[in-house]
Amino acid sequence: ATSAIRRPEPAGRASVNPSQRVRRIIATVLLVVGGLGLAVASTGWWLERNFLNTERFTGTANDALDQVDTQDAITHVLVRQISSAAGQNLELAEPLLASVVQQVVDSDAFRAIFDRALAAAHELLVDRDAEQIVLDLTGAYDRIKAPLEQFAPSLAADLPSRNELRVVLLERSQLTTAWDAIDLVEGVIAIVTVAALVLLAAGIALSYERWRALALAGWILVGTLAFVLLALLIARSIIPDRISDTVYARAAKTGFGVITHGLVVQSIVLAVIAGVLALAAGWTQRHGLKAWADAFRRIWRRLEELVPRAAETPVREQPADSVPTEVAGTLDRLARGGARGQHAGRALAL
């Protein structure tokens, strides 16, 4: 008889019918897809901001040029470019040539040359009529040759022409792929952003417990951005294993960290904002919207208790005709001194 007695289920759970359960599932799916789309859109914002803008692109390249590994890689490229163009005569002199090139790469003059060359290369990347992307570093030729002419004139005479410092970055076939990627980023980023926001709004509106749905959307975005950060960390760790040359491998790892620094900062900021929003929405779901006023009042009272109040010392008012204590003491001493002088005068007269 007792086995037939069932415990009454909570009102919230008993009120959920199959249609409401389906509605909850659909809302959750919309929130998950919207959160993933917003994380993808944030990555697209970073790509568009840093790779399609010439000024930001050269600024990021400047930050990479500040790194020793990047300077070593550029030195490595220039020495190989010059040595291979000159033939066998410079193979034995490569260490000397590398030391000179290293000093040139580390100078402010080379930075200006590098900036101009990189800006021109980026403009060619945006230009759809370019046949190849060339990093023109011929401005550094005289700065490399001048020191060699002083202490190694024979080596300076064996240097090839300055045109060998035109480094080809991309050919026409590779440019087609780059242009397709640019079109994809420019065309998809706005659509993905709008679609993600619409899906998130629909998921929240479809849910019965909207504050809980908002909290779920925030935590989904936090988890997705954490996955992006983890993917960047893994990618940076495996990049050196994919490159056989150790100089280029170190430069690629360092450059990847410099380039993706903005994406890391952006993802952390968005994750913090989403986490705070999720915590606030969850708290509102449990305590209600009106509880915020009580919470702020308690916080304000707590702050008033923590801030020490300055003790107010009462100021004793003196009568208008009274003399200050310091002045009265001085006058009293002068009066006593004058009385002693009068007594001394009478004694001398007697």
Least confident of 47-56, 164-173, 224-233, 246-255: 164-173
Q: For residue 144, with 0-12 CB atoms within 10 Å meaning exposed, 13-18 middle and 19 or more buried, which class applies? A: buried
Q: SS in 3 state form for 140-177?
A: HHHHHHHHHHHHCHHHHHCCCCHHHHEEEEECHHHHHH
**Over the stretch 252-296, which tens digit does the pLDDT of each residue have?**
899 889 889 999 999 999 999 999 999 999 998 888 878 888 888
Query: Where does 307-324 have alpha helices with state H?
Result: none
Query: Which is higher by pLDDT, 99 or 322?
Result: 99
At 131, the pLDDT band (50, 70, 90 cuts) reads: low
Query: In the block, which residue shows the tokens 């590398």?
Result: 98
Instruction: Give the pair of three-digit tokens for residue 91.
Output: 């193979």
Q: What radius of gyration, in Å, describes the C-alpha atoms of the chain?
A: 39
Distance CA 136, CA 121 (A): 8
pTM of the model: 0.69
Coil/strand/helix, residue 91: coil
User: Is pLDDT of 7 > 60?
Assistant: no
Query: Where does the chain have alpha helices with state H?
Result: 11-14, 18-51, 54-65, 68-86, 94-105, 108-126, 141-151, 153-157, 172-206, 210-238, 246-259, 261-287, 291-306, 325-349
Q: Which residues contact 299 (CB under 8 A, 6 or more apart)?
A: none
To 5 degrees, how large is the angle CA 170–CA 175–CA 178?
110
